[in-house]
Amino acid sequence: MDDLVETMSNQLDIHVPGVRYVGIYGIGGCGKTTLAKIMFNQLSACFDACSFLADVRESSKRGLLYLQKKLVSNLRARHSSDISDVDDGIKTLKDICKSKKVLIVLDDVDKREQIESLAGSFSWFSSGSRIIVTTRDVRVLTVVQEELDGDTPVNTKMSTLEMKGLDSEQALQLFSTFAFKTDQPPADYLDLSKEVISLTGQLPLALEIIGSQLFDKRKVEWEEKLSTLTKIPHQNIQRKLMISYEDLEYRTKQIFLDIACLPVNLKKANAIPMWRSYGLHPEVGIKDLISMSLIKIVDEDKIWMHDLLRELGKEIACMENFIDIRKRSRLWILEEAFGILKRKEGSGKTQVLHLSDDGCLQNYILTCENFKNLRNLRYLRLCGSNIEGDFEHQFPRLCWLCWQSCPSDFKAKNLNLEKLAVLDLSSSHISENWEGWSQIRVGDNLAVLDLSNCKRLYRTPDLSRYSTLERLILKDCCSLCQLDCSIGKLKRLKHLNLNGCRSLRGLPGEIGSAEALEEIFLEGSHNSFTLLPESVSNLTSLTTIEVDNSHICQLPDSIGRLGKVTHLSLEQCHQMRRLPNTVGDIKSLLELDLSYTGITELPDSLGRLKKLKRLSLMACPNIKKLPDSLGDLKSLVELDISSTQLIELPDSIGNLEE
């Protein structure tokens, strides 16, 4: 991999002007995404804005507009919900990328139009920008090459890199990393290791998964695994990966299949309550899947599964009954899932029913008769459809209801969802007066309520009926002015996301009673929202506070009581002039981001933050001097003072050890 990283670095050559595209192509599982991720992590600090858009092929099933909104959101330029269609998305991306030096990775692209709508031309980008595309099909890169063959700006360049199989030495090193946690096998395992490697075709994904499976196993178990691998044709990589699936415990297999069949970018914090409510012991299952390299947790909370493993999981789900889809546990293909409902052919076998969100079922009305006999459903996704009729005793096991683009008129009766753990009503046309708030009756399991992008929501409903709630997501509710005071009754609430609530004028004082709250996100609130309530200091479980791009002008003096906070971000709070002296009492603080703020000075108490690892003052034009106590930050690893007016550093800077 080191040689590939060096080759890639030369192709990207970030120190020269102009725009460069690099296309990485090769068969599935050969390491394309891994290489792109390494380059992204190494280089992202050199750019004004960055985005790693993973699983483009799978995500594109939700539409090009979805991908554009995600890219715009990642580049943090404007609220992605403002984009109306693909053409508007192209215009928005051009505006963003012309004003910033960007690094963009489009991972697992399979169609030309994906590149055309996300990074369609050299002319979109400012000098210094770099775009990386990974694909199984080199032909999709021709959209960029064709432009090069015509009239293009100077200093533009397109290059490609083919990912081939690893050589024997590289394969042995990669396999050993997972099988032995070292870069070489013990002498008495060398021959066994070489046999395994030869049977995997030296494909990185297979080496990682089978190596992880053999970690800390006895020789007799290695020999059993070799015997199984030997019986499978060399080219059939999926059957070799199947061995790892077969070794999973039953409940972990169910979690694996859910991840494979549910939409990509599944968030762990949302999925765990569903699996827990269904008795699948998700904490153990997730840990086992990670240790066997069958999934990864990326971007802090998203569950990532390689597309080959996703295809394997879907094939296993189909193998339950190739002929009769009524006897399958998971239905995710629109024609099959909708066909079951339309023909009223549901059965007790079906656990997961996923109706895609491509808009074709918008405003379609499904009756209780359509769901007849689907009594074992635990996941139901409806997008834009409405339901009507009497649903008493209809969904006794439903744990996750994803009802995105839900209509404003509620037609169902007796919708009793006692097992419901996740309620997703994002992008819906509902208001605080929606009848569903009183008609959907939930039990003591509801942990997640997602109301993001509900543009007609001016105030949150009475939340006291959801006393078990752990995650409340109100992101991009652009009309939301006020949180109902009942939020203080949510004694289990851990996560509150108010990013993009541009009309929000403040937090109620009762927020201080939500004593379990650990994370609060307040990016982009109304310009009249200038102060956090004093009661925030009662939230002693808080670990993360992000109020980026807001009009907050000062923090309460009592902020020092929040001793568990590890991450405090005030990026682009232009009205912020000073920090209270009590900030030095936040003993657990690891990251403090003050970039693009109006900060004029830092308090001497900053030196008491013995655990602080990262301090960003990037683009703070008003700060002229740093305190001498800066030298007391013994754990500081990164100090960003780029684009400031600082002309000298305190002498104590030499005391920094990290």
CATH code, domain with 266: 1.10.10
pLDDT at 71: 87
Same domain, 546 and 640: yes
Which residues constitute the domain of residue 270? Answer: 250-316
pLDDT at 148: 57
**CA 542 – CA 515 distance, rounded (Å):** 9
Residue 562 lies inside a defined structural domain of this protein? yes
Name residues whose C-beta falls within 8 Å of residue 323's C-beta, 6 or more positions apart in sequence.
none
Residue 92 lies inside a defined structural domain of this protein? yes
Tokens of 257: 């299949």
Closest among 618, 554, 566 to 592, alpha carbons compared: 566
Last residue of a domain, one of 134, 162, 190: 162
Rounded to two decimals, what is the model's pTM? 0.80
Same domain, 130 and 178: no
Same domain, 309 and 267: yes
Confidence of residue 648 (pLDDT cuts 50, 70, 90): confident
Instruction: Say if residue 179 is exposed, middle or buried (CB neighbours under 10 Å; 0-12, 13-18, 19+).
Output: buried
Same domain, 445 and 556: yes
Residue range 459-473: mean pLDDT, rounded? 94
Residue 359 lies inside a defined structural domain of this protein? no
Residue range 236-248: mean pLDDT, rounded? 80
Confidence of residue 420 (pLDDT cuts 50, 70, 90): very high
pLDDT at 153: 59
**CA 29 – CA 319 distance, rounded (Å):** 23
Query: HSE-up of 100 (CA within 13 Å, CB side)?
Result: 19
Greater pLDDT, 272 or 62: 272
Residue range 567-585: mean pLDDT, rounded? 93
Last residue of a domain, one of 226, 246, 266: 246
Residue 362 lies inside a defined structural domain of this protein? no
Residue 343 lies inside a defined structural domain of this protein? no
Query: HSE-up of 306 (CA within 13 Å, CB side)?
Result: 23
CB 367 within 8 A of CB 346: no
Same domain, 189 and 120: no
pLDDT at residue 657 greater than cutoff 60: yes
Place of tokens 């790693």: 52
Q: 480-487 long-range contacts, Cβ below 8 Å, gap at least 24?
A: 480/504, 481/505, 481/526, 482/458, 482/506, 482/508, 483/459, 483/507, 483/508, 483/511, 484/432, 484/459, 484/460, 484/508, 485/509, 485/510, 486/460, 486/462, 486/510, 487/460, 487/463, 487/511, 487/514
Same domain, 121 and 7: yes
Instruction: Say if residue 363 is exposed, middle or buried (CB neighbours under 10 Å; 0-12, 13-18, 19+).
Output: exposed
Residue 365 lies inside a defined structural domain of this protein? no
Residue 325 lies inside a defined structural domain of this protein? no
Domain count, the chain: 4
Same domain, 275 and 210: no
The overall average pLDDT reported for the chain is 87
Confidence of residue 136 (pLDDT cuts 50, 70, 90): confident
Confidence of residue 511 (pLDDT cuts 50, 70, 90): very high
Q: Which amino acid is at 301?
A: D
The per-residue pLDDT for range 364-385, each reduced to its tens digit, is 888 889 888 899 999 999 888 8
Last residue of a domain, one of 130, 145, 162: 162
Greater pLDDT, 530 or 496: 496
CB 256 within 8 A of CB 248: yes
Same domain, 489 and 606: yes
Specify the 3-state DSSP secondary structure of 61.
helix
Residue 503 lies inside a defined structural domain of this protein? yes
